[in-house]
Amino acid sequence: MSRGTRLLAAAIAAMAATLILPLAVLAHPLGNFTVNHYSGIEVAGREVRIHYVLDLAEIPAFQERQQMQDSRTYLDAKVAVIAHNLSLTVDGAGRHIRAVDRRMRFLPGQGGLQTLRIEALFAADGPGDGEHRAVYRDANDPGRLGWHEITVRATGGARVVQASAPSTSVTNELRAYPQDLLSSPLDVRQASLSYAPGLLLTRPAALAPLGAGFGATQDRFAALIAPEHVSWSFAAFAVVAAVALGAAHALSPGHGKAVIAGYMVGSRRSWRHALLLGATLTATHTAGVFALGLVTLYASSLITPERLYPWLTLISGLLVVAMGCWLVVARWRSVARLHDHGHAHHHRHESEHHHHHEPEARTGRRGVVLLGVSGGLLPCPSALIVLLAAISLHRVAFGLLLIVAFSSGLALVLVGIGVALAHGPSLLQRLPRQRVLSATRAARLLSVGSAVIVCVAGLGLFTQALPSVR
């Protein structure tokens, strides 16, 4: 076997292994940006206790760790902030919430990064005998993406008469998130309850022994940055694998606009424009990852990364709508010109000759760049994890190489699909000459319809992002 054949076989094996073999890399099941909260309210005798859990995914945990000089000092300050943003009223009167116990630990996450789990136990003295009405509110991290859950139960002879929250946690206190609720996480920040205090003595307030962490998922791309040693052979494997994973990511939901963009460019039958689209997609996606990384590292106090995604989606949608409207106008004019031209030919020299124009309005370089920007504007969260892990592991050059490879694979597939779709009109060349004109008119009408679809796709992106923009 020749050297070139062996290299080709190795590359194919790397791509296949990347897509087939599972890699044991843990990822937060709700996503890398989430900040999740759980409040377990327990009426214990005459006391109201709150078991509070703060679960930070990889990116917010990375941000918190940058601010952490001493873990004990950090934990005390964090618990004080949490307590300040909690409120408990009993029969309309506010109750002082005091911190009784606290702890934190880091758990393995994607790409060598870690998630952070903080637990605190708060307590408040309640009134004497009789039935009471209590209202609990959690105002921590308003606007942050994540799970918010509250439960209510009673011990020590106390009795819960009525409560707006359940008695058991559906996540086992943020350890196991239900798969059917990951796309629409629970958002409960307030609970009310009627209860009767107990007379029995209860155990001293303290956190329960440590349990397991959350049920993790896997991410193959983030695994590429995390091995203990990076050899030249592994680096080559990782680059090929990153291209393959970028290609697989291109087929996931959310990239329809880029496929449409590839179709519009490919219909011009210019490989230079297709390559320009691919280069723009790669550059935009890579630049977006680095820009989001800079925000995560240096501007998180001004804006959180997850708040940028709706804005990027909104801008992308507006770009697609603008391009779609322009295409509708241009292609409709093209259909009208074909009708007039074909009518004149039919009357003046019907049998002399037939010719047809390109069934697609030409898109200039500026339009191609605009399409590429709209397709690559939303960076993949896994790529951001790779960047942050590369910084923490002092492998910035290797991380950059992987991100560029991932973006290239993404662009390669999107442009390839678009070009393949766009060359459908070339089938007109195989039709009998007397049917070319009518087929060309049908192709142009179809192109108007595809332009309308572009507008609808852009409006869909815009309306999807609008409620989340704040």
Distance CA 362, CA 319 (A): 18
Q: Which residues lie across from 274 on neighbouring strands? A: none
Does 223 score more than 50 pLDDT? yes
Query: pLDDT grade, residue 46 (50/70/90)?
Result: confident
Taking only the tens place, the pLDDT of each residue in 157-204 is 889 999 999 999 999 999 888 877 767 788 999 999 999 987 755 555
Residues 229-238 have a mean pLDDT of 88
Say if CB 413 and CB 247 are below 8 A apart: yes
Cα-based torsion angle of the residue sequence 389, 390, 395, 398 in order, rounded to the nearest 10 degrees: 130
Of residues 358 and 66, the one with the higher pLDDT is: 66
Burial 224-240 (b: 16+ CB within 10 A, else e): bbbeeeeeeeeeebbbb
Neighbouring residues of 257: CB distance < 8 A, sequence distance ≥ 6: 316, 320, 374, 375, 454, 457, 458, 461
- Which among 40, 62, 60 has a CA at the least distance from the CA of 50? 40
Distance CA 380, CA 395 (A): 19
Question: What φ, ψ does residue 35 adopt, rounded to 5°?
Answer: -125, 115
- pLDDT (0 to 100) of residue 383: 82
Task: Among 270-279, 319-328, 385-394, name the most confident range.
Answer: 385-394
- pLDDT (0 to 100) of residue 183: 72
How crowded is the C-beta side of 374, counted as CA atoms within 13 Å?
Answer: 29
* Helices (H), ranges, 157-304: 220-223, 232-250, 256-266, 271-298
User: Residue 313 has which token pair?
Assistant: 């989606």
- pLDDT (0 to 100) of residue 360: 42
Distance CA 223, CA 243 (A): 14
82's enclosing H/E stretch is: helix 71-84
340's enclosing H/E stretch is: helix 305-348
Q: Are strands 35-44 and 148-155 parallel, antiparallel or unpaired?
A: parallel
- pLDDT (0 to 100) of residue 214: 47
Question: How many residues does the structure list for the chain?
Answer: 470
On average, the pLDDT of the chain sits at 75
Taking only the tens place, the pLDDT of each residue in 242-296 is 898 888 877 766 555 454 555 555 455 566 777 887 888 888 888 888 888 887 7
pTM here is 0.65
Q: Is 457 helix (H, G, I), strand (E, B) or coil?
A: helix
Residue type (1 letter), 39 = S
What sign for the dihedral angle of Cα 377, 383, 385, 388?
negative
Distance CA 415, CA 413 (A): 6
The separation between the first and the last C-alpha atoms of the chain, rounded to the nearest angstrom, is 60
Say if CB 139 and CB 87 are below 8 A apart: yes
Query: pLDDT grade, residue 129 (50/70/90)?
Result: confident
Say if CB 414 and CB 247 are below 8 A apart: no
Q: Which residues lie across from 56 on neighbouring strands? A: 35, 116
Does 82 score more than 90 pLDDT? yes
Say if CB 19 and CB 46 are below 8 A apart: no
Taking only the tens place, the pLDDT of each residue in 416-469 is 776 766 665 554 455 454 454 454 555 555 566 666 777 777 777 777 777 666
- pLDDT (0 to 100) of residue 210: 57
Does 9 score more than 60 pLDDT? no
- pLDDT (0 to 100) of residue 394: 82
User: Residue 84 has which token pair?
Assistant: 């300040």
- pLDDT (0 to 100) of residue 451: 66
Taking only the tens place, the pLDDT of each residue in 139-152 is 999 878 889 999 99
152's enclosing H/E stretch is: strand 148-155
* Residue % of the chain over a pLDDT of 70: 68
- pLDDT (0 to 100) of residue 38: 97
Say if CB 294 and CB 308 are below 8 A apart: no
- pLDDT (0 to 100) of residue 15: 40
Distance CA 268, CA 263 (A): 9
Say if CB 461 and CB 378 are below 8 A apart: no
Say if CB 238 and CB 223 are below 8 A apart: no
Q: Is 414 left (phi over 0), alpha (psi -120 to 50) or beta?
A: alpha
Strand order across the 159-163 sheet: 93-94, 86-90, 132-138, 190-196, 159-163
Of residues 354 and 320, the one with the higher pLDDT is: 320
Distance CA 129, CA 133 (A): 12
Say if CB 410 and CB 251 are below 8 A apart: no
- Which among 230, 258, 289, 212 has a CA at the least distance from the CA of 32? 289
Distance CA 102, CA 9 (A): 54
- Which among 413, 175, 396, 384 has a CA at the least distance from the CA of 285? 384
Query: pLDDT grade, residue 103 (50/70/90)?
Result: very high
Does 368 score more than 90 pLDDT? no
Neighbouring residues of 320: CB distance < 8 A, sequence distance ≥ 6: 257, 260, 374, 454, 455, 457, 458, 461
- pLDDT (0 to 100) of residue 74: 93
Q: Are strands 114-125 and 159-163 parallel, antiparallel or unpaired?
A: unpaired
Task: Among 75-79, 239-243, 394-398, 413-417, name the most confident range.
Answer: 75-79
